[in-house]
A = this chain, B = another copy of it.
Amino acid sequence: MKKKITLKQIARELEVSISTVSKALKNSKEISKDTTEKIQAFAKLYHYKPNNIALSLKNKRTRNIGVIIPDIVHHFFTTVFRGIEQYADTKGYNVIACVSDESFEKEVINMEMLANGSIDGFILALSAETQQKKDFHHLMEIIDQGMPLVLFDRVADEVVCDKVVINDFEASYMATKKLIENGRKRIALITTESYLNVSEKRAQGYYKALKDHDLELDENLILRLPYQFEDEKKSEAFFASTIMDAVLCVNEIFAVRAMRIAQGNGKKIPEDIAFIGFTDGILSKLANPALTSIAQHGEQMGKVAAKMLIEKIERDDEIQQVESFKTAVIEATLIERESTINQIK
């Protein structure tokens, strides 16, 4: 077993000083050609690579970025993560991933763990609990320390920092409008409890579209489900008791579940009921019938977030200019598939 070799060992072995070795490896012209070659040959032979930790300590930058997401087993977050990882990779950054599990406390703990030197900046989507409590002191502290932070998807107006979101309101408006134009009159909305800012915005888009097309808002057409808990009973009761000809869902899981219940009740999709869901993941593509959905372009979102973060990190190194924060908006796209394709009657 050969432990990694250090500058000191090379220096001792070759009977030169540590500084000479360091300089030789960087092709400094201070060092003679002879010595340089000798040192480089030796270093190569022993696979010398500088120790990242020592470099981090010296340079005060780790080339690590911290990503905290509420849930990794969730298609949307996974794609965002992938975008982040891909972009970070091209820039020579590593990604430390933490999962908050929708818990405020885990979010805080994870942030504290990483904030003490392990990373150069954060990319984060707020946990459900954090959004509910509206307690953002941990984020404020991070910002106050001068550590770059980018919020994505689950953002909060109270936190002043760079953000990446999709145009939830407009996308939802557009989807609802599409259903209306297809002749649907009784359009249901299946959403989460309202503390999630994205669900709220999507609901707003739905309201506005109804209003603009002179359809009245019927509270009976709205089903609010707990975010993760699978409340099949509630959904079944909803479908049994409600007359509708279209459904808009704030995520694809809700949509696919709802489709199955409707089909179980003998409804034809899209003839009797049309469906549209947010999150264009594998579920939408492989559902039966294939689900029309709103692509959130998670991967692109991740890329943009990573780009914003890394730019800020590397700009911080230069000069401390006036702080300015941007919010990037990714345009959602409606992907039409079988669940809406046929015009009604």
Contacts and interface: CB of A to CB of B under 8 A. Distances in A.
Interface of A: 1-4, 47, 49-54, 56-57, 62, 64, 72-73, 75, 78-79, 81-82, 85-86, 89, 92, 94-99, 106, 110, 112-118, 141, 144-146, 253, 256-257, 259-260, 263, 282-283, 286-288
A130 B52 CA distance: 26
Most chain B CB inside 10 Å of its own CB: which residue of A117, A260, A263: A117
A200 B60 CA distance: 48
A85 B256 CA distance: 29
Contact of A85 (B2, B99, B253, B283): B99
Across chains A and B, which 4 residue pairs bring their CB atoms closest together, nearest first?
A51-B117, A52-B117, A53-B117, A288-B288
Contact of A54 (B57, B141, B263): B57
A287 B260 CA distance: 9
A79 B123 CA distance: 21
A78 B72 contact: yes
B82 A72 contact: yes
A64 B79 CA distance: 23
Contact of A57 (B53, B78, B110, B257): B53
A256 B94 CA distance: 35
Contacts of A49: 112, 115-116
Given A85-B97, A259-B288, A283-B286, 17 more contacts: A4-B116, A4-B145, A50-B116, A51-B117, A53-B57, A53-B117, A53-B118, A72-B82, A72-B85, A73-B78, A73-B82, A94-B98, A94-B113, A94-B118, A95-B97, A253-B282, A282-B283
A190 to B, nearest CB: 15
Given A57-B53, A75-B73, A96 B96 contact: yes
Contacts of A96: 64, 94-97
10 contacts: A2-B144, A4-B117, A52-B117, A52-B118, A53-B56, A82-B99, A85-B98, A94-B114, A253-B286, A256-B286
A185 B81 CA distance: 44
A259 B288 CA distance: 10
A152 to B, nearest CB: 16
Contact of A146 (B1, B89, B113): B1
Contacts of A53: 53, 56-57, 62, 117-118
B286 A257 contact: yes
A284 B333 CA distance: 26
A86 B263 CA distance: 37
A265 to B, nearest CB: 14
Contacts of A75: 73
Contact of A98 (B52, B89, B263, B288): B89
